[in-house]
Amino acid sequence: MKISTRGRYGLYFMLALARDYGEQRRSVKSVATERGISDLYLEQIVASLKKEDLVKSTRGAYGGYELNHPPEEITVGQIFKSVEENIVAVESDEKDGNNERFLWGRIRDAISDVLDHTTLKDMVEYDGEGLDDYMFHI
């Protein structure tokens, strides 16, 4: 499974809003500058997040974007589903046997479980302890 730049940038944007939840709104430009990414590209991604009712915007001097729900109610899976065209860990092939389909299904289910049960709040509160256990060294 590979998450596209749309998915990563959408997650970056949502994490920025989650960190500031209840305190301030953020502009697309401020998050894009902070992350060193194109604000025009990020604006397209934010439109998808807004369409899925994950963010809301306010116009004016103190305007900007904010989460439309508390961080503990928004999952990474919701974010990826709103900005990614297709999230498939492994697709079965007609040549695959039952044992292979069993494995691909377990991988798909495990990834879905992580995405659907990891919230923005979980990510904001994570302090990095044990990070080496999750990193793959290639």
Q: Both tokens of residue 74?
A: 């928004």
Domains and CATH numbers, the chain: 5-133 (1.10.10.10)
pLDDT digits (tens, 9 = 90+) for 6-35: 999 999 999 999 999 999 999 999 999 999
pLDDT digits (tens, 9 = 90+) for 28-63: 999 999 999 999 999 999 999 999 999 999 998 888
- Which residues share a beta bridge with 64? 58
Assess contact for 59 and 112: CB atoms under 8 A: no
Q: How far is CA 102 from CA 13, 38, 88, 89, 91, in A?
A: 35, 41, 15, 13, 12
- Longest C-alpha distance within the chain, in Å? 60
- The bridge status of strand 55-58 relative to strand 64-67 is antiparallel
Q: What is the pTM of this model?
A: 0.85
Q: Is 94 exposed, middle or buried (0-12, 13-18, 19+ CB in 10 A)?
A: exposed
Q: Both tokens of residue 81?
A: 């589903």
